[in-house]
Amino acid sequence: MNEGSPKKSKSGFISPLNRTATSVHREMPLSEGRETELALIAATLANKQLQVSKLTSAYYVKTNHKLVQENEKLEHELEEKERESFAVMEALEDRMNAVKCDNAEMKEKLTAARDSAWRDVMEEMASMQERLEESEYHTSSLQKRIEWLEEELASVDAFRQARDKHQREMENLKKEYTEEQDKHARDSHLLRMQLMEERVRIRAEEQLLNRRHEEDVRKMAMELLTQKTRDVDEENQQLLEEKIFLSEDAKAARNEADALRQENYKLRQNAALAKSAEEEFTAHAVRQKREITLLREQVKTTEDNLKAVVESYEKRIQKQAREHAAALRRLTQERDEANCFAESLRRELVKMRSLSRQMVERRTELEMFFHDALAQVRREMLEERRRGTRYIGHQHSNSSSFQRTTPRLKEGEGELMLISNRRLRLPLPPPLQIGGSGSNTTWHSKESPAGDGNMGGPSLPLITLPKEELAVTRSSRLIPAKEWHYNEGGALTTRFLPSSEEPLFAHSDLSCIPNAPKLKDLQSIEISQLCWKDKERVLQILFKQLQGKSNFSKAEQCKSTGDTGDLVGSVVVNSETHTFLTE
């Protein structure tokens, strides 16, 4: 039985143990009876082998089915454990989130209360500071209030420090929570790794069991399945070990839950402390609000007093402004009246100045006429003294054109008087010296005529010229008597030097003058020295000049109105000398 027992192959079929022996027996020559017996034995062995293979296959199917069920059960238990652990973790996370939300809300409330209290305190401090600057007499009392508020601010700073401490504790708790999360992640990872190791181990055990099963099959084939109870005991031992392992995991999860419960209890205690601190600060804020209302009432009374003072001051200022405006209007009216009076005075002054100017011009013109007439009479007297004649003119036969330009005026007695044409006078060089073959004669005067001192110089008599000098005299400018004067040496000179185009008489030109005046003839002749006849001649010349002036002004008026006809009189004015010329 031991030798002839069949062996189970890897394919599950039982083969004879000693094939070589059977092959040897087959090769041996057998008889018919022996062959029949061997055939029966082989058939019997084949039937046994078939039955054993069926039984072993059924047994292996059952064991595999049991192992699969146990494996599924274990996986289901593991999934349930994982779900429970996840549920526990989610519950713990929800609790932590709720605690965090409560803490955040409490933190927001505390920050809002602190910010509102701080804003109120700062606003009230600013308003108090402004009003303290405006009202100086409340400085001391309000300073005490400010110091008290500074103490309260120190308490608020202490609360801020406590809050910062609480925040640091919260940060530490957050760090611990993150560490716990990391630890849990590590533990879960470690647990997964352990599960994977267990799976690998189980697979290795399955392989080992398969190998052992093969051995057990061989042993069962030899010992008739006596190892079944031992295998069941081994499986029970494995399950017991797994149960112990899972109970340890559950214990660790319960420990974690206890730790989280203790942390939650601490957080609740901290929340209760924060709530009590919040109530205390709320009561403190209520007290501060009461104090602030009292201060506002005081400030309001101060503002009312200030408004009353300001209103009285504004009324006084308005009254002063009205008084100032009335005074300003009065002064403005006086100023306008003074301006009007000054303007009228200015107009009167302008009129008086114009009248005085006209009077001065007329007086100056009259004086000029008078001095011209006096000079005329003086010249005639000098010539009369020299020649004993009553007129002065050129004796040359070819001087008709020059005589036409030297008109004569008749006096009442028939005498002829010359109003000289000053354009035909010849300039004399200063000092004027006359030299000839006979004797040198110089026109000097120790003193200038008294009557011409204010007129710019003494007047000179006309000088007769020869025929060849007439062309020069026609183109030469005559120097008026006012332009002659005596220099420091007593020589007779002109005020203005003649131009380069005017020819001057040289020493040889004056030598041909026969009737040159002597020094004694140029002495000054006063009006007091004139006789009544000469004075009358002066007045006649003056009146005729004035009459010529009036005729000239009428002619100018006719010209200004557009009348271009001939003038009624033949009197014109030389603008250069302001004398009258009768043609």
Q: For residue 17, is it within any domain? A: yes
267-306: pLDDT as tens digits: 988 888 988 888 988 898 899 889 988 998 988 898 888 8
Q: For residue 329, is it within any domain? A: no
186-216: pLDDT as tens digits: 888 888 888 888 888 888 888 888 888 878 7
Which of 280, 311, 342 delimits the end of a domain? 311
Q: Are 484 and 458 in contact (CB under 8 A)?
A: yes
> 486: which strand partners?
492
259 and 132 in a single domain? The answer is yes
Provide the 8-state DSSP code for 505: P
517 and 554 in a single domain? The answer is no
- The residue assigned the tokens 């100032």 is 324
484-517: pLDDT as tens digits: 555 555 554 554 444 443 444 334 444 444 444 4
572 and 502 in a single domain? The answer is no
* Distance linking the first and last C-alpha atoms of the chain: 203
460, two tokens: 């000179």
* Percentage helix, strand, coil for the chain under 3-state DSSP, each rounded to 5: 70, 5, 20
533, two tokens: 């006849």
Output b/e per residue, 215-252; b: 16+ Cβ within 10 A: ebbeebbeeeeebeeeeeeeeeeeeeeeeeeeeeeeee
Q: Are 2 and 41 in contact (CB under 8 A)?
A: no
165 and 297 in a single domain? The answer is yes
Q: For residue 380, is it within any domain? A: no
Which of 311, 331, 365 delimits the end of a domain? 311
pLDDT reported for residue 571: 38
Q: What is the total count of domains within the chain?
A: 3
Stretch 223-241: mean pLDDT: 71
**Average of per-residue pLDDT values in the chain:** 69
Residue 29 has pLDDT above 60, yes or no: no
- Residue type (1 letter), 299: V
66 and 79 in a single domain? The answer is yes
Task: Provide φ and ψ at 420, rounded to 5°.
Answer: -65, 140
Q: Are 504 and 429 in contact (CB under 8 A)?
A: yes
* Cα torsion 91, 93, 94, 100: sign: positive
Q: For residue 127, is it within any domain? A: yes
C-alpha distances out from residue 491 to 428, 441, 453, 486, 525, Å: 12, 12, 15, 5, 18
Nearest to 504 by CA among 425, 422, 402, 436: 425
pLDDT reported for residue 13: 43
Q: For residue 470, is it within any domain? A: yes
Residue 115 has pLDDT above 80, yes or no: yes
- Residue type (1 letter), 538: V
Report the run of H or E that residue 215 belongs to, with start and end. Answer: helix 139-223
**Using 50, 70 and 90 to split pLDDT, how confident is the model at 41?**
confident
80 and 168 in a single domain? The answer is yes
pLDDT reported for residue 409: 38
514 and 548 in a single domain? The answer is no
Q: How many other β-carbons are positioned within 10 Å of the β-carbon of residue 513?
A: 16
Most confident residue range from 110-114, 218-222, 334-338, 451-455:
334-338
SS3 per-residue string spanning 333-393: HHHHHHHHHHHHHHHHHHHHHHHHHHHHHHHHHHHHHHHHHHHHHHHHHHHHHHHCCCCCC
299, two tokens: 């400030």
Most confident residue range from 139-143, 312-316, 443-447:
312-316
pLDDT reported for residue 485: 52
465 and 576 in a single domain? The answer is no
Which of 261, 284, 311 delimits the end of a domain? 311
C-alpha distances out from residue 188 to 81, 86, 192, 202, Å: 12, 10, 6, 20
Kindly give the residue spans of alpha helices, DSSP state H, lying in 488-576: 507-510, 532-560
Residue 158 has pLDDT above 70, yes or no: yes
Residue 399 is part of which domain span?
A: 390-529
510 and 543 in a single domain? The answer is no
Q: How many other β-carbons are positioned within 10 Å of the β-carbon of residue 297?
A: 10
Q: For residue 322, is it within any domain? A: no
pLDDT reported for residue 156: 84
448 and 568 in a single domain? The answer is no
**Using 50, 70 and 90 to split pLDDT, how confident is the model at 71?**
confident
Q: How many other β-carbons are positioned within 10 Å of the β-carbon of residue 510?
A: 19
Residue 434 has pLDDT above 60, yes or no: no
Q: For residue 294, is it within any domain? A: yes
551 and 455 in a single domain? The answer is no
Q: For residue 544, is it within any domain? A: yes
Nearest to 414 by CA among 392, 394, 390: 390
Task: Provide φ and ψ at 394, rounded to 5°.
Answer: -85, 135
151, two tokens: 């103490």
289 and 158 in a single domain? The answer is yes
Name the residue with higher pLDDT: 531 or 98.
98
pLDDT reported for residue 213: 81
- What does the alpha-carbon distance between residue 524 and residue 521 come to, in Å, rounded to a whole number? 9
Q: Are 440 and 465 in contact (CB under 8 A)?
A: no
